[in-house]
Amino acid sequence: MSDSEIRFLEHVCLGPGLVANIFIAPHKDGLCLILVDATSEAGRIQAMQQKGNELVLCMERLRKVELKLRDCLAQKEDHSGRRSHDDVKSND
Amino acid sequence: MIKKKICMVGAFAVGKTSLVQRFVKSIFSEKYLTTVGVKIDKKTLDVGTQTVDLMLWDLQGEDEFQSLQVSYLRGSSGFFLVADGTREWTLDKAVSLSEKVEEVAGKLPFMLLINKADLPESWEIDENRLSELTNSGWSVVKTSAKTGEGVEEAFTSLASKTLEDMK
């Protein structure tokens, strides 16, 4: 990235509930900053992203529960298999 | 006054914002609130005989919809890679992000934070994997934004590394 380029910082939170898109451009001996209000845009994205991420987190938790359940079932089957084997042995 | 820009990088919902909140404001909230874009916080820290203004750039996590915006990394003095100890894939993400950051910002001091150390019963990350990373030269610290475990030490340690980098 060269110093003559315009830099763009998207969705910079400037304070509670205040978000801006910031353009930084070289100007004479310094820099020119342009701040464009992006509060409502960021709010919309946040709401959508929040729901999406919560859904992914829920799915991750569900997958963990499913794995635990499968483990429990496998253990139970193993246990009941051993018991019936022992029953057959004692009947003999 | 020395100023240092530190970026928080990692997958979504690993606790980047919570770690910053814990360090800067000594607060913690259980409620998950996804970050859009970047939030910038500041904390003044005494490191040895020097006083440093840490500018903490809390970058939005990588998720299904958004990837790391490299423009935020410019001018960084160091960064934290954050993973969630209860979600193993977030460590893979942290490792891949470290490569991405190095590509863009060059070699910078960094630390890997394995967050949510207060949830050992849900822990997924293998200790051997962390040992391998430590052996390859990474600084790995277990943290909890909830209890504060490891947080102050991690920030102080990275601040100190960025100062050493100046020498």
Total domains present in chain A: 2
Assigned domain for A47 exists? yes
Give me the domain span that covers residue A46.
Answer: 40-83
Confidence (pLDDT) at B47: 93
Q: pTM of the prediction?
A: 0.90
Q: Does residue A66 share a domain with residue A33?
A: no
Assigned domain for A2 exists? no
CA–CA min distance A86, chain B (Å): 35
Confidence (pLDDT) at A1: 45
Q: Does residue A30 share a domain with residue A50?
A: no
Work out the pLDDT band at A92, boundaries 50, 70, 90: low
What angle separates helix B151-166 from helix B16-25, to the nearest 10 degrees? 90
Q: Does residue A44 share a domain with residue A77?
A: yes
Contact at 8 Å (CB) between A54 and B67? no
Confidence (pLDDT) at B167: 66
Assigned domain for A88 exists? no
Mean pLDDT of A41-47: 96
Q: What is the pLDDT of residues B90-106, one digit of tens each?
A: 999 999 999 999 999 99
Residues of A in contact with B13 (CB under 8 A): 53, 57
pLDDT at A12 over 60: yes
Q: Does residue A66 share a domain with residue A50?
A: yes
A9 touches chain B (CB under 8 A): yes
Mean pLDDT of B42-68: 92
Listed by number, the residues of chain B in 24-53 with a beta carbon closer than 8 Å to a beta carbon of chain A are: 32-34, 36-40
Classify B44 as helix, strand or coil: strand
Confidence (pLDDT) at B60: 95
Assigned domain for A61 exists? yes
Q: Does residue A31 share a domain with residue A44?
A: no
Assigned domain for A92 exists? no
Q: Does residue A32 share a domain with residue A12?
A: yes
Assigned domain for A79 exists? yes
Assigned domain for A23 exists? yes
A5 touches chain B (CB under 8 A): no
Q: Does residue A71 share a domain with residue A47?
A: yes
Q: Give the number of beta-carbon pairs within 8 Å between A and B.
A: 54
A82 touches chain B (CB under 8 A): no
DSSP string, A18-86: EEEEEEEEEETTEEEEEEEE-HHHHHHHHHHHHHHHHHHHHHHHHHHHHHHHHHHHHHHHHHHHHHHHH
Confidence (pLDDT) at A3: 61
Contact at 8 Å (CB) between B145 and B58? no
Assigned domain for A91 exists? no
Confidence (pLDDT) at B107: 95
B71 touches chain A (CB under 8 A): yes
Q: Does residue A45 share a domain with residue A26?
A: no
Compute CA distances B89 → A52, B17, B49, whole Å.
18, 19, 40
Q: Does residue A29 share a domain with residue A47?
A: no
Mean pLDDT of B38-66: 93
Q: Does residue A27 share a domain with residue A16?
A: yes
Compute CA distances B80 → A6, A15, A35, B22, B90, whole Å.
27, 23, 28, 15, 14
